[in-house]
Chain A
Amino acid sequence: MSAVRIIRDRAIVDDDFVHVPDGAELPDGGKPIVTLARYVASREALLGRYPALGVRIASDKLPGDVPEPGRLALIAIEFPRFSDGRGFSVARQLRDRHGFAGELRAVGWVLRDQLFYMERCGFNAFELKPGKPLESALEAFGEFTATYQAAVDDPRPLYRRR
């Protein structure tokens, strides 16, 4: 089985993490992404067993629902529909308020035309909706060369840069 391709830091790479749904067996090693429920239930054991652990959270979860985010290598935020924009605020809070420095990944119904906004809100990795081309999606990051607002990518609004 070939590795899943994702976008990370504006490049297409093989995914070195693997999603482990509830009920599925944990791998012997590597970098699993477990559900928030599994993480909450056996946090210490998981963190002890995997030096690079990821947690996947549903779109109705808030940063405060994730205990000790600083110990995680990755947080994946679900977009159940492309029109559900909660993940943008969750990402921004994780970065700005909780100082999360690991990989922040958008998963689910993720589309090329959201990447620019997602990156500004703190996401640095993207699993596009299956079937969507990755190569051309990279162009999305360069579509705007100026922005008005403060965001994770630049904490200064344009009026402090103008």
Chain B
Amino acid sequence: MYQYDDYDRRIITERARQFRGQVARRLTGEITEEEFKPLRLQNGLYMQLHAYMLRVAVPYGLLSSTQVRKLAHIARTYDRGYAHLTTRQNVQYNWPKLADVPTILDELASVEMHAVQTSGNCVRNISSDHFAGVAPDELEDPRPYCEILRQWSTFHPEFAYLPRKFKIAVTGTPGDDRTAVRFHDIGLRLVENAAGEHGFEVIVGGGMGRTPQIGEVIREFLPKRYLLSYIESILRVYNLFGRRDNKFKARIKILVAALGIDEFRRRVEEDWEASRTPALELPDAEIERVRAFFTPPPYETLPPSDTQLAAFALGRDRDFGTWVKNNVYRHKVPGYSAVVISVKMPGVPPGDVSDTQLDSIAAVADAYSFGQVVVTHTQNLVLPDVKTSELPRLHAELVALDLGKANAGKLTDVITCPGLDYCDLANARSIPLSLEIAERFDRIDYLNDVGDVSIKISGCINSCGHHHVGNIGILGIDKRGAEFYQLMLGGSPGNDASIGKILGAALSQDEIVGAIEKVLERYLLVRESPDERFLETVRRVGLEPFKQAVYGGAAAVGAA
């Protein structure tokens, strides 16, 4: 993984020192809370309902075991013994004291981590595929480009006061997008042109929030050397023309929709022609320099393990077999597998990991996966490089650590935002609902029968829980002072991107989980075969059968 050199270290150290000064100026009253706000936000410090929240950047989700141990230490020393995995592959602490934050930043800097630009109206942490570097269907490892973009976006002088936040994702697997590139402000897909060269398909203006929008292609093929100059022009057009009068209409998706993709593209290309200089071009040497940090670990030469995996899945140990089926993914190197560690347990808020679990995960990563761990946008962890032959031993260890849940990608692998328990924007609680789902459906046979289905819960329209792209999406709303939930079906973040549609009138806390159960019962009834996934069935039969199931004859559509 990427190692800081003297420049990177200096920049992060100087940033921590700068923030100490900013905190001091706030405490003396030299700057107002209003003026301090963007400064603390761009250092990852966000005011939640009860306390400050510190969001730590995990560039493209990749962590070393040393960093995981540091995260455990911070959870234990400065927080309440746990950390939270976010849907942008970051790590969040919900209870730090303001006075401790500069010290926490120093602790992070000691393991080459920071909280830079994890909040605020700036370019945020670059996200990527959690199977980057190991996916068998990958065209090229996207992480070197993520790192190049991380450096370019870090303290970019022109784009620190954008109209609104700005999120970029990169995928190196054009055939199976696991990063939701079409729901980002800029999505980059590594593609190959007719001449066999690799470049980027550039997608712009996607997003969720109150106006969900599938991004549009602004460039079908951008040669790599223009990556930074072209993105800079997109940001410049957005910075100059994006709306600043209304926070809810300030994202780039609103500008792209207002201008139309053709006019937006014309402005970007015009700026690009005028501003791109040879110095801005990304030289092959720089790509190679960064790529060298992502060379594959020292794999052993092993025979292919596909038959072994199949045997595991069908073996006598049913728990292990189910786990292999659900949580183990194919690897590009023969004899290796990628493993999803699910942290979604009954009784635990989705994405929460305790300090002792983090320490154990670090030890497991050292023992089985060359000391690396990846945070997924589904709020789980991945061990990217596990020898297939060692899966039984690994599984036994994970089970002992209470991390062996075989529910990756299944019904109880719920994604949620923090909701009304923590967040002052929320209308409704998300965590208790996810806990109820985890309990109600915690039967492995049922999970396997229902198959791959994603549930995503947001406590408000800002959609931090990505409800728009859940196969089943749940949105918390406020109905005359009471918490209600809208149910949506048919969303997907991937190559077949779609936005879920509202099923009917919002449901009360007492009704919502029962409604999900009815939807699933109906799915089991109307699916063509056990191979037809939930999403496929919804797309084939439409919403009507599910409306009938939940609301009976009288479905009041759209009422909220």
Q: Does B297 contact A (CB under 8 A)?
A: no
Contact A145 B10 (CB under 8 A): yes
| B14: contacting residue among A82, A92, A143, A149, CB under 8 A | A143
In the complex, A111 Cα to B22 Cα: how many Å? 12
Q: Which residue on A lies nearest to B36, using beta carbons?
A: A113
Contact B152 A148 (CB under 8 A): yes
Q: Does A17 contact B (CB under 8 A)?
A: no
In the complex, A146 Cα to B277 Cα: how many Å? 21
In the complex, A114 Cα to B30 Cα: how many Å? 15
Q: Does A42 contact B (CB under 8 A)?
A: no
Q: How far does the Cβ of B28 sit from chain A's closest Cβ, in whole Å?
A: 11
- Identify the stretch in A6-14, A44-52, A151-159 within 8 Å (CB) of chain B at 4 or more residues: A151-159
Contact A84 B161 (CB under 8 A): yes
Top 5 A-B residue pairs of the complex, sorted by shortest distance between their CB atoms: A85-B161, A120-B157, A117-B157, A159-B286, A148-B151
Chain A neighbourhood of B286, CB < 8 A: 159
Contact A86 B152 (CB under 8 A): no
Q: How far does the Cβ of A78 sit from chain B's closest Cβ, in whole Å?
A: 13
Q: Does A94 contact B (CB under 8 A)?
A: no
Additional pairs, 17, CB under 8 Å, beyond known A88-B161, A111-B35, A117-B155: A62-B240, A86-B244, A89-B239, A89-B240, A90-B240, A113-B39, A133-B30, A143-B14, A143-B18, A144-B15, A148-B11, A148-B152, A149-B157, A150-B277, A158-B151, A159-B283, A160-B283
In the complex, A151 Cα to B159 Cα: how many Å? 12
In the complex, A119 Cα to B240 Cα: how many Å? 18
Q: Which residue on A lies nearest to B242, using beta carbons?
A: A86
Question: How many A-B pairs with Cβ below 8 Å?
Answer: 108
Q: Does A147 contact B (CB under 8 A)?
A: yes
Known A143-B18, A162-B7: A149·B161 in contact at CB below 8 Å: no
Size class of the contact patch on chain B: 35 or more
Chain B neighbourhood of A145, CB < 8 A: 10, 14
Q: Which of A18-76 contact B (CB under 8 A)?
A: 62
Chain A neighbourhood of B15, CB < 8 A: 144
In the complex, A145 Cα to B163 Cα: how many Å? 28
In the complex, A94 Cα to B9 Cα: how many Å? 33
Known A85-B161, A159-B286: A111·B31 in contact at CB below 8 Å: yes
Contact B161 A155 (CB under 8 A): no
Contact A85 B160 (CB under 8 A): yes
| A149: contacting residue among B156, B275, B277, B282, CB under 8 A | B156
Known A143-B14, A156-B279: A151·B244 in contact at CB below 8 Å: no
Q: Does B556 contact A (CB under 8 A)?
A: no
Q: Which of B142-185 contact A (CB under 8 A)?
A: 151-152, 154-163
Q: Does B349 contact A (CB under 8 A)?
A: no
Interface hub of B5, B17, B160 (most chain A Cβ within 10 A): B160
In the complex, A143 Cα to B25 Cα: how many Å? 15
Chain A neighbourhood of B151, CB < 8 A: 148, 158
Q: Does A106 contact B (CB under 8 A)?
A: no
Q: Does B335 contact A (CB under 8 A)?
A: no
Q: Which of B237-287 contact A (CB under 8 A)?
A: 239-240, 244, 274-275, 277, 279-280, 282-283, 286
Contact A89 B158 (CB under 8 A): yes
Chain B neighbourhood of A147, CB < 8 A: 11, 155, 157
- The contact string, 1 if C-beta is below 8 Å from chain A, for chain B 28-53, is 00110001001100000000000000
Q: Which residue on B lies nearest to A119, using beta carbons?
A: B157
Chain A neighbourhood of B162, CB < 8 A: 85
Q: How far does the Cβ of B450 sit from chain A's closest Cβ, in whole Å?
A: 46
| B158: contacting residue among A82, A88, A133, A155, CB under 8 A | A88
| A160: contacting residue among B10, B38, B279, CB under 8 A | B279
> 9 A-B pairs, CB-CB below 8 angstroms?
A85-B159, A85-B161, A88-B159, A114-B161, A117-B158, A146-B11, A155-B277, A159-B289, A162-B5
Q: Which residue on B lies nearest to A139, using beta carbons?
A: B21
Q: Does B497 contact A (CB under 8 A)?
A: no
